[in-house]
């Protein structure tokens, strides 16, 4: 019983330190076809806890999957993509995935 309690406490502490991005914001420049992805993800060690994956969908079809091995800094990240296929009225969805726990997404409709 004592070991189960210790195990439960350890598992809880790992989950408390693991979290998805707090915020994901997108901007798309139609003239240049550039999508900018900004995310907020505060961590204590950017080499051990980071956004490990960014998946981009254009009209619900996956077009980009990027794997990342560490975060640039302890607070956030910025990624830039050229999406020449995107046109007015299209929907772009971006999903960020934390290497410890959780996903956060954002969407934008091109105007």
Kindly tell me if the per-residue pLDDT of 14 is higher than 50.
no
Instruction: Report all structural domains of the chain as residue ranges with CATH numbers, in order of start.
Output: 19-109 (2.60.40.730)
Tell me the three-class secondary structure of 63-93, residue by residue: EEEEECCCCCCCCEEEEEEECCCCCCCCEEE
Token look-up 């969407």 returns: 107
Please choose, from the candidates 106, 88, 99, 111, the residue with its C-alpha nearest in 3D space to the C-alpha of residue 14.
Answer: 99
State pTM to two decimals: 0.83
* Range 79-94 average pLDDT: 97
Question: By mean pLDDT, which of 3-7, 14-18, 51-55 is the weakest?
Answer: 3-7
pLDDT digits (tens, 9 = 90+) for 42-76: 999 888 899 999 999 999 999 999 999 998 899 99
């Amino acid at each position: 019983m004592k070991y189960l309690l210790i195990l439960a406490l350890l598992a809880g502490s790992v989950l408390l330190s693991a979290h998805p991005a707090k915020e994901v914001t997108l901007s798309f420049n139609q003239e240049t076809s550039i999508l900018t992805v900004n995310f907020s993800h505060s961590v204590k060690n950017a080499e051990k806890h980071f956004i490990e994956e960014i998946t981009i969908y254009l009209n619900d079809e996956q077009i980009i999957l990027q794997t990342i091995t560490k975060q640039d800094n302890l607070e956030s990240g910025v990624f830039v993509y050229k999406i020449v296929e995107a046109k007015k009225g299209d929907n772009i969805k971006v999903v960020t995935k934390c290497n410890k726990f959780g996903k956060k997404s954002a969407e934008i409709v091109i105007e």
